[in-house]
């Protein structure tokens, strides 16, 4: 298939994503579809940047007049000291996924739209979390921290359950001190049955079950799912994970991570362009590609 190249001229504005690897990213198609929908002369390009080249790449995108970039693995944390400023969300989540570049001053501001993307998708799915909610977060990496930080504001009781219990304890300690909340805890996998029994929301932030390991699940065999809970899997490739299927079979409502992907992208789009993003166009292209995969 020959790719269609639209009109590019001296007015074309550039944004992109820096990652290593980056070829699998859905963001270029999602943003380019949004630009096309709104008739905007903007393009979004994937940029393969080795970890040791990140500083040079950031100077490069600034010099080339990019309006902003997204960051993915492995740059989300290492970019922080290279930026002029970061938002409060970045300080709490400990990671940047979006940079806004001010062309006139040359300043680079780090943002985290993963956190807001997750919360917006919860709201879009009418999942409300408040002080009486109990949430179990599987995992203790960057995604767990963004999800936990986003939920901490609600006052919910949050328990991080992670393979390496110490990492879960570190995130819980950090968020507890950030929010002066005593309701943020951690537990080992061996305590999952106990701590999840009363949960109203379980969020998987580990990559377990992600393509190509589609037959894997982070939920251990023999541990019952909580009753009347919602299962949110941040994994979106495949659209329906084994964890989601198993949870549904046990009567839970299961939501996949494609909405979080779309809303983090939509938020970045708005930060860069100042325009309201065409959410449904962005969602449709992601779903189409994921169904083809
Ligand atoms: P990210 O920043 O994308 O969240 P990460 O920092 O590598 O990625 O964190 C991935 C999380 O998934 C970690 O909590 C990891 O557990 P460990 O802290 O024990 O490494 C968890 N994880 C990854 N593979 C796993 C597996 N096979 N079983 C259980 N947990 C796993």
Domain count for the chain: 2
Claim to verify: residue 122 and residue 245 sit in the same structural domain = yes
Claim to verify: residue 119 and residue 106 sit in the same structural domain = no
CATH number assigned to the domain comprising residue 144: 3.40.50.720
Kindly state whether residue 2 falls inside one of the protein's structural domains.
no
Claim to verify: residue 207 and residue 83 sit in the same structural domain = no
Kindly state whether residue 5 falls inside one of the protein's structural domains.
no
**Average pLDDT, whole number, for the chain?**
96
Q: How many residues does the chain have?
A: 293
Annotated catalytic residue within 76, 242, 275, 276: 76
Q: Judge contact between 207 and 235, C-beta under 8 A.
A: yes
**Complete edge-to-edge strand list for the sheet that includes strand 230-233:** 184-188, 157-162, 134-138, 201-204, 230-233, 253-255
Kindly state whether residue 6 falls inside one of the protein's structural domains.
no
Ligand 1 centre to CA of 166 (Å) is: 12
* Distance from C-alpha of 70 to C-alpha of 149, rounded to nearest angstrom: 20
- Ligand 1: atom nearest CA of 95 is 2
Kindly state whether residue 130 falls inside one of the protein's structural domains.
yes
Kindly state whether residue 7 falls inside one of the protein's structural domains.
no
Kindly state whether residue 276 falls inside one of the protein's structural domains.
yes
Bridge-based pairing of strands 42-48 and 68-71 is unpaired
Kindly state whether residue 235 falls inside one of the protein's structural domains.
yes
Tokens of 232: 């949110």
Claim to verify: residue 136 and residue 233 sit in the same structural domain = yes
Domain that residue 84 falls in: 13-112+262-292
Ligand 1 centre to CA of 103 (Å) is: 37
Claim to verify: residue 41 and residue 167 sit in the same structural domain = no
Claim to verify: residue 124 and residue 218 sit in the same structural domain = yes
Claim to verify: residue 101 and residue 124 sit in the same structural domain = no
Pocket test for ligand 1, best of 71, 144, 207 (most atoms within 8 A of CB): 207
Claim to verify: residue 73 and residue 105 sit in the same structural domain = yes
Kindly state whether residue 8 falls inside one of the protein's structural domains.
no
Claim to verify: residue 77 and residue 130 sit in the same structural domain = no
Ligand 1 centre to CA of 32 (Å) is: 31
Bridge-based pairing of strands 230-233 and 201-204 is parallel
DSSP sequence for 21-83: S-TT-SHHHHHHHHHHHTT--EEEEEEE--GGGHHHHHHHHHHTT--EEEE-TTSTTTTGGGS
Claim to verify: residue 149 and residue 244 sit in the same structural domain = yes
Identify the residues whose C-beta falls under 6 Å from ligand 1.
Answer: 139-144, 162-164, 167, 205-208, 218
Task: Determine the Cα angle at 268 with ends 270 and 45, to 5°.
Answer: 110
Name the residue at shortest CA distance from atom 26 of ligand 1: 208
CATH number assigned to the domain comprising residue 90: 3.40.50.10860
Claim to verify: residue 84 and residue 155 sit in the same structural domain = no
Tokens of 1: 């298939």
**Measured between alpha carbons, how far is residue 177 from residues 91, 133, 173, 185 in Å?**
13, 20, 6, 11
* Distance from C-alpha of 197 to C-alpha of 21, rounded to nearest angstrom: 38
Ligand 1 centre to CA of 208 (Å) is: 8
288 is catalytic: no
Claim to verify: residue 103 and residue 230 sit in the same structural domain = no
Write out the chain's pLDDT in tens, 293 residues: 445 667 999 999 999 999 999 999 999 999 999 999 999 999 999 999 999 999 999 999 999 999 999 999 999 999 999 999 999 999 999 999 999 999 999 999 999 999 999 999 999 999 999 999 999 999 999 999 999 999 998 999 999 999 999 999 999 999 999 887 779 999 999 999 999 999 999 999 999 999 999 999 999 999 999 999 999 999 999 999 999 999 999 999 999 999 999 999 999 999 999 999 999 999 999 999 999 97
- Ligand 1: atom nearest CA of 216 is 27
């Amino acid at each position: 298939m020959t790719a269609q190249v639209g009109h590019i001229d001296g007015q074309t504005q550039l944004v992109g994503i820096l990652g290593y690897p980056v070829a699998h990213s859905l963001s270029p198609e999602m943003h380019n579809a949004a630009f096309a929908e709104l008739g905007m002369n903007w393009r979004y390009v994937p940029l393969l940047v080795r970890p040791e080249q990140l500083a040079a790449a950031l100077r490069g995108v600034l010099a080339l007049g990019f309006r902003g970039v997204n960051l993915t693995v492995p740059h989300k944390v290492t970019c922080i000291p290279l930026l002029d400023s970061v938002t409060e969300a970045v300080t709490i989540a400990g990671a940047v996924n979006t940079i806004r570049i001010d062309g006139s001053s040359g300043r680079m501001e780090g943002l985290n739209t993963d956190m807001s993307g997750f919360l917006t998708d919860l709201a879009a799915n009418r999942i409300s979390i408040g002080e009486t909610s109990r949430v179990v977060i599987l995992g203790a990496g960057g995604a767990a921290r963004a999800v936990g930080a986003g939920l901490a504001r609600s006052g919910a009781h949050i328990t991080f359950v992670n393979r390496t219990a110490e990492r879960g304890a570190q995130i819980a300690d950090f968020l507890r001190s950030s929010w002066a909340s005593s309701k943020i805890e951690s537990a080992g996998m061996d305590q999952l049955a106990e701590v999840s029994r009363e949960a109203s929301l379980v969020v998987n932030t580990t990559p377990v079950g992600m393509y190509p390991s589609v037959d894997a699940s982070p939920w251990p065999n023999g541990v019952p799912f909580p009753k009347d809970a919602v299962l949110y899997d941040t994994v979106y490739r495949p659209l329906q994970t084994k964890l989601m299927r198993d949870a549904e079979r046990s009567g839970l409502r299961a939501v996949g991570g494609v909405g979080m992907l779309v809303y983090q992208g939509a938020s970045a789009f708005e930060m860069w362009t100042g325009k309201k993003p065409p959410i449904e166009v962005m969602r449709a292209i992601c779903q189409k590609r994921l169904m083809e995969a």
